[in-house]
Every structure is written in C-alpha cells, then in structure tokens.
Amino acid sequence: MGKTRSLSRRLNQPRMGQPRKTSGLLNEYRPLLDDLLEIDPAYFGKKDLALLNLLCAPTLTGSEHLDIQRCLSRLDRLAAYVKTTTERNLYRFPQDPDYGHCEPMWRMGMLVTCIKLHFGATYDPVVKAELDQDGHSPFIDSRNVFIHGLLDDDAKRRWGSCSSIPVLVAAVSRRLGYPVRLAVNRRHVWARWDDARGLIFNIEASNLAGMTVESDDHFRNQMFGPLTDDEARSGFYVRQLTAAEEFALFLKDRVWCLRDMHRCAETFLWSARALQFSPDDPHFAKCAYETAELAIKQRVRQKYPTRPIPPSNHEFVFNLTEFTTQHERPLFLTIAGHLDELDKNLDKAREFYEDACRLNPYGNNEQRDLQRFLRKHNLPSRRSGPIMPPKHCLPRFFKLPNAAPEREAILLLDLANEFEWKGEMLKARKALIDLYMFDPCDAELYGRLRAIERRPEFQTELKEDLKRRGQTIRPAPRSKI
C-alpha cells in the first residue's frame, strides 16, 4: 500500500520550473504545426496522439499556462504508473467478475481505473451540470476540450470532457503498446480497441464510474437517437478513426472553441485542414462554412456599417477578394467546396476545389483534396474540349497575347519543356505553375512541378536568385519534440 502511495506521489509531483505562458507558445511550436498541416495525412500515425492534441490548444482561453513538454512528461509518468500497477495486479485477472474472460478488457479496465481513481482525471462538474440541464455546454475553456486540463499540476483540478478523456485514455494506451484509437458519433467521442486478431470493443470512460464496454448499437442507435440515413451512408461514425481523422478531430475542437469565443476570423486554416484530413464527416462542413461566413460578415459590418447583411443560404454574396486575405481565399474555397460536395452540388464543388488549387499552387492538401473528390465521385480528371485559360487565378508569369486561347496551354507546355531541357529550372517551374492554373486536375503535372523543386540544380538556382535579390531561403522547421 505504501508503494502505491509513493508511485502516486511521484506521478502527481510537478516538474521543477515555472509553467510557461502561451504568449508565443503557438509561435514556438508553429514550425512543427505548419509541417503537420501540410504533410501527407498517412504521416500522422507516426506522431504522438497527445502531442497532436496539445498543439491545437495554444492561444485559446484556458491555455494561458500551457506547457506542452511538461504535459508530455507527466503523461509518460502516468503511463509508467499504469504499466507498473497493471503488471503487479495481473494475477487478479482470472477472478475479475466483469472482465476475467478477456485480458485486453481487463487491462483497459485497470488503465481507466488508474487514470480516474488514482490520477484524478474526471469529468468537469460544471460542464456535466450544463449538459444535464440544457444538453449543451459551450467550448469556452480549452482545459475541458484538450488534454492539458486532465494533466493539470493541481490533482484536484484534472477535469475534462468526452472531448479529452478518451484522448487521454488512447494516449496512455498507445504508450503501453495497446491498439486503441478514437471513435465518434454525432456528439460523443470514445476509445476503441481493435487488434490484429479481430478483437474489437468500445471503451467508455467519460462517466462517473470506471470503464464500461458498450456495444456499437449503443453508440449508433441508442445514444442521441439513431443515425440518419445520410449519417449511416457517410461511414464516418462508430468505427475506428484513422490517424488523420483523429488529428482533424482536434482541429475541429479548436474551431468550436474559436467560434464559441467569438474569434471566427481565426478559423479558416483549421476548418479547411480538418475537412481535408477528415472529408467523410457528415456535419462539420456546414459548421465550418457558417463560421467562415460569419467572420466575413463581421468584416462587412466593420467596413460598411449601414449595409444590410443578407441571410445565410449557402450562396456566397460577398466579394471574396475584398473581405479575405490572399492566404484565406483558397481556404475559404476549400470549405465552400466541401459544403457543396455534402449537398451533392458536384459541379459547383469541383469549381471551388479547382480554384482553391489555382490560388495555392504550392498546396499539397488542395491537390490531394481535389484528387480525392474526383475519385470518390468517379469524375474525369479533365473536362472535355481544349484546355482554356482560367477565369480566376494568380497573376501569370508568362503572357501569350498573340496566341489563340485554346493554344495557350500547349505553348506553355512547350515553354516548360524547353526551359527544363536548357537547365533553366526557375523558368521551367514558372511555366508549369502557369500551366497548372489552366488545369489543376492534372495530377501528373502537379507531380512534375514538385519534382522540379526537389532537384539540386533548382535549389542552387533558387539560392542564387534569392541572393541577387537580397533574400534567403527559410530553413526547414525542425521539431523540438
């Protein structure tokens, strides 16, 4: 018994040093976060789930004293404590009246007990009271949404919600090598065991007691009512989320926090990436669009106080160039594309996706999103007829005033080939970027564009060009964790 108290005391003891304030914390980790927002979604599986969750919390209310490294260190100690406690009590497994028939269930029951009973992680009583009374609690305090609230220095204030408790359970589980991921329905998150032998069970820890194992039918039909036909067809609910979808879940939580804090203008990036990493969510596209539109309406009111604001009907009526920045435009178009795709307006959605690519020719996510859309709906990668100049795009590098419009794409391809043959890689890239504006659906062209940028001779030429202009290449960001 004394040994258990000693382990628990070490587990709860704060690390030496004062917590850092988050003024600048997002900037400190921004290079890492920027990398994550642009990489291939398959890479998310190689990153720590807890780190991905914590990276979405800085600058939100409740994150003022967030120290990401401090949280991860405490989480590592918690996992070590769970492992020690589990192995010390393993002899009791066969006699367990609830889970003595299944060692994985017993191990997860022990894990949840350690987290909730010994470590003190529990549901925020204020949030619980609001949910019981109104069925809704706003995302105001990020400590209840992300896991830093459950990893608080104060053992009596380790509070969270169903947005964070399952994440903590999954993060500890993975440190122990357990095959646990997250799962969702329309309003709830839980952890889910899914191993190579085919054993699958749901882990409910967001309750007042210990772990309960609920059936898929409970989450699909009994909790908050049965899924609608559209929700069922999406295939998004009541299954194990992919690593990219888990990260998108945290991005969505950040969007909800910003929206409830009336900071809608900050949501463009997070909403667009959440949709790109988790395109099958049957509800978030509508929320993301309404939030982005609300941000633009606020800007309209500031600039034109007397102008009437039309009601929302998902038909955008404002001048996007006037009320958004160059960086925000492709993000807004991505959000609009996902909403039209959800509403089955495929022609309009394709137009938005293509224009998002045109406005960000360096956007890997925009190109992946467009290709996903074409594959999902079995659409041709090229429209019929000649490739015509685009109506909306960035300023072109090469203007061909004497060429017929239907021949401009052919001439740009010839230019790119000629420049590449001569070894003029900067000019070759510029010609390919212009050509990409004509036809962003051409995945091979996009691949060629990125391949040229990776060639050593291109990098040498780029450095020399920047040196002549008194600029330098920003070094690739490196993770501190």
Same domain for 149 and 280:
no
> Is 476 within the bounds of a domain?
no
Last residue of a domain, one of 343, 376, 409: 376
Q: Is residue 192 part of a domain?
A: yes
For 283, residues 6+ apart whose C-beta sits below 8 A from its C-beta are 186
Residues 198 and 151 occupy one common structural domain:
yes
Q: For residue 253, which of 152, 146, 141, 161 has the smallest C-alpha distance?
A: 146
Q: Are residues 224 and 268 in the same domain?
A: no
Residue from 37, 43, 452, 114 nearest 270 by CA: 37
Tokens of 355: 């224009």
Residues 229 and 286 in one domain: no
Separation between Cα atoms, residue 336 and residue 118, nearest integer Å: 47
Strand partners, 203: 191
Instruction: Spell 99-116 as b/e; 16+ CB within 10 A means b.
Output: beebebbbbbbbbbbbbb
Query: Can you tell me the distance from the alpha carbon of 106 to that of 99, in angstroms, rounded to the nearest whole number?
Result: 5
Q: Backbone phi, then psi, for 212, in 5-degree steps? A: -120, 150
Domain assignment present for residue 211? The answer is: yes
pLDDT for res 299: 92
Picking from 359, 362, 288, the residue whose alpha carbon sits closest to that of residue 320 is 359
Q: What is the pTM of this model?
A: 0.90
pLDDT-flagged residues of the chain (< 70): 1-26, 132-133, 135-136, 312-317, 472-481
Total domains in the fold of the chain = 2
Cβ atoms of 227 and 186 closer than 8 Å: yes
Q: Are residues 67 and 215 in the same domain?
A: yes
Residue at 223 is within a domain: yes
Q: Does residue 299 share a domain with residue 230?
A: no
270 and 225 housed in the same domain: no
Domain boundary among 318, 349, 376: 376
Please indicate, yes or no, whether residues 204 and 350 belong to a single structural domain of this protein.
no
The DSSP bridge pattern shows strands 159-160 and 122-123 to be parallel
Q: What is the pLDDT of residue 319?
A: 81
Residue 339: give the domain boundaries.
262-376
CA distances from 16 to 19, 50, 70, 465 (A): 9, 21, 10, 48
Is 387 inside any structural domain? Answer: no
Q: Are residues 76 and 161 in the same domain?
A: yes
Per the domain annotation, does 347 fall within a domain? Answer: yes
Residue 242 falls inside a structural domain: no
pLDDT of residue 129: 77
**Three-state secondary structure along the chain?**
CHHHHHHHHHHHCCCCCCCCCCCCHHHHHHHHHHHHHHCCHHHHHHCCHHHHHHCCCCCCCCCCCCCHHHHHHHHHHHHHHHHHHHHHCHHHHHHCCCCCCCHHHHHHHHHHHHHHHHCCCEECHHHHHHHHHHCCCCCCCHHHCCHHHCCCCCHHHCEECCCCHHHHHHHHHHHCCCCEEEEECCCCEEEEEECCCCCEEEEECCCCCCCECCCHHHHHHHCCCCCCHHHHHHCCCCCCCCHHHHHHHHHHHHHHHHHHCCCHHHCHHHHHHHHHHCCCCCCHHHHHHHHHHHHHHHHHHHHCCCCCCCCCCCCCCCCHHHHCCCCHHHHHHHHHHHHHHHCCCHHHHHHHHHHHHHHCCCCHHHHHHHHHHHHHCCCCCCCCCCCCCCCCCCCCCCCCCCCCHHHHHHHHHHHHHHHHHHCCHHHHHHHHHHHHHHCCCCHHHHHHHHHHHHCHHHHHHHHHHHHHCCCCCCCCCCCCC
Tell me whether residue 381 is in a domain.
no
CA distances to 175, 308, 339 from 153, rounded to whole Å, are 21, 50, 42
Q: Are residues 163 and 103 in the same domain?
A: yes
219 close to 183: Cβ distance less than 8 angstroms: yes
Of 376, 394, 415, which residue sits at a domain end?
Answer: 376
Residues 193 and 274 in one domain: no
Same domain, 201 and 297: no
CA angle 74, 75, 78 (to 5 degrees): 90
CB 29 within 8 A of CB 71: no
